[in-house]
Structure 1
Amino acid sequence: MALPSKPEIAAGLVGALMLAKLDRGGIGLFDDTVSGFWKSFFAAVLLAPFSALLLWVVHYSRAPEGTDLGAIAVIELVGYAGAWLVWPVAAFELTRLAGVQDRCRRYIVACNWSEVWIMALQLPVAVIFASGALGDDGKALIYMVMLMAILSYRFVIARDVLEIPPVAAAGFAFADLMVAVIWQLLVDAPIQPYLAASGAGA
């Protein structure tokens, strides 16, 4: 896979940011050629260190001594790579059923670059949570606001990029969330024995 140039990365990020601002002009910045489609997965490379930091802050920074973090890291790495593939595969079938498969490539390009801005929202929230500055009620409120913001963003991407009615776009956004949740449960399953063995899963 050819790596995207800096202008190509910038175009993808600006396009995704414009959609977040409800500016449909951002769609024109996405490279939805076959090459552009594969290049958009470079967002996974850009986000890898931040995703690792997010996992550390949220899950493993206070893991008990003796936790096999090496084995967990391998599982998380495989899960991270798979997470970038599972939704495109599901979306390919969903767009086929919706009769908009010709726009699927452009949609995945938009989704991939949008992950950068979603991480820009998630990471500071995770740091605030880890700081202990908020109580459970405060955390629950902020988490719900963040979740709704992400769902709204994915709704806008589906509606504007796929050019589908709002109800269908909401279905895509919800399906996106459900696929992510199910995938995370599948990734967490082989990790739990390592946490339980060290007492972290108790």
Structure 2
Amino acid sequence: MFPTASYAFRALYGVWLIACRRTESVSYFDISVDGFWKSFLAALLVLPANVIITFVGLYAISETNYGIFAALRDLLIYGITWLLYPLLVLNFFAFLGSKDRALAYLIPYNWASVPLGYMFAVATVLNNFLSIVPFLGIFLLTTVYAVAICLFFEIARQGLKVSRLSAIGVVVFDFIFSISLMSVLGSIKSQI
């Protein structure tokens, strides 16, 4: 069954509670295999923010040859980046016999991308179009990155039920994995 709007709002409120470090946040998520697949609705909800970020980037480099093929290629890359990390984490924890902990981490992780994606979109737009105030855009982007790191830290700490040091390790791994994946996919993209 496709998740309803109230289901999505409930999950997004759960993300807010995680950001506020409230332990009852877990009750706002459907921590199950079905809830895991439903959490990928977040990919659809945040897609417009990614489109905005892409077009602002294209505008910044004065790209004029962006057609349907390039858009489909970017959409494929978007899907790969959305699926690879969660499936890697889920299989790793299933191998360890802790699939429930992985679900309690990945479901809020997916939903957190919605507010963070729109925060990045706003910061990207302001960074590229507010040249009146020097460094304001860079400050906003840096702030959004800091918020993302703190939120992903709290999601890892609460969802995986690990120490702060372990949660830091999870966030560092996530960022290194994401940057590496985007780099590899970007180099493949430039070859196509």
Q: What TM-score do you get using the length of structure 2 for normalisation?
A: 0.88
RMSD: 2.2
Report the counterpart of residue 40 of structure 1 in structure 2.
Answer: 39
Gaps of 5+ in 1: 195-202
Whole-angstrom distance in 2 between the partners of 1:23 and 1:56: 36
CA shift for structure 1 position 43: 0.8
Report the counterpart of residue 27 of structure 2 in structure 1.
Answer: 28
Report the counterpart of residue 105 of structure 2 in structure 1.
Answer: 107
Map 1:85-124 → 2, pairs under 5 A:
85-95=83-93, 100-124=98-122
Which amino acid is the alignment partner of residue 10 of structure 1? F
Deviations 1:169-199 (A, max 9, x none): 11111111112111211222144368xxxxx
Percentage of pairs with the same residue:
21
Report the counterpart of residue 176 of structure 1 in structure 2.
Answer: 174
Residues 174 and 99 from structure 1, CA distance in 2 versus in 1: closer, same or farther, beyond 3 angstroms?
A: farther
Report the counterpart of residue 161 of structure 1 in structure 2.
Answer: 159
Residues 178 and 106 from structure 1, CA distance in 2 versus in 1: closer, same or farther, beyond 3 angstroms?
A: same
Deviations 1:54-111 (A, max 9, x none): 1111x21245465243332122100111111111123225545877433111211111
Q: What TM-score do you get using the length of structure 1 for normalisation?
A: 0.84
Report the counterpart of residue 80 of structure 1 in structure 2.
Answer: 78
Report the counterpart of residue 50 of structure 2 in structure 1.
Answer: 51
Which amino acid is the alignment partner of residue 104 of structure 1? A
Gaps of 5+ in 2: none
Alpha carbons 2:15, 2:112 under 8 Å: kept = yes
Alignment of 1:147 onto 2:145: yes
Whole-angstrom distance in 2 between the partners of 1:134 and 1:173: 32
Alpha carbons 2:124, 2:141 under 8 Å: kept = no
Alpha carbons 2:32, 2:100 under 8 Å: kept = no
Alpha carbons 2:14, 2:25 under 8 Å: kept = yes
Which amino acid is the alignment partner of residue 123 of structure 1? A
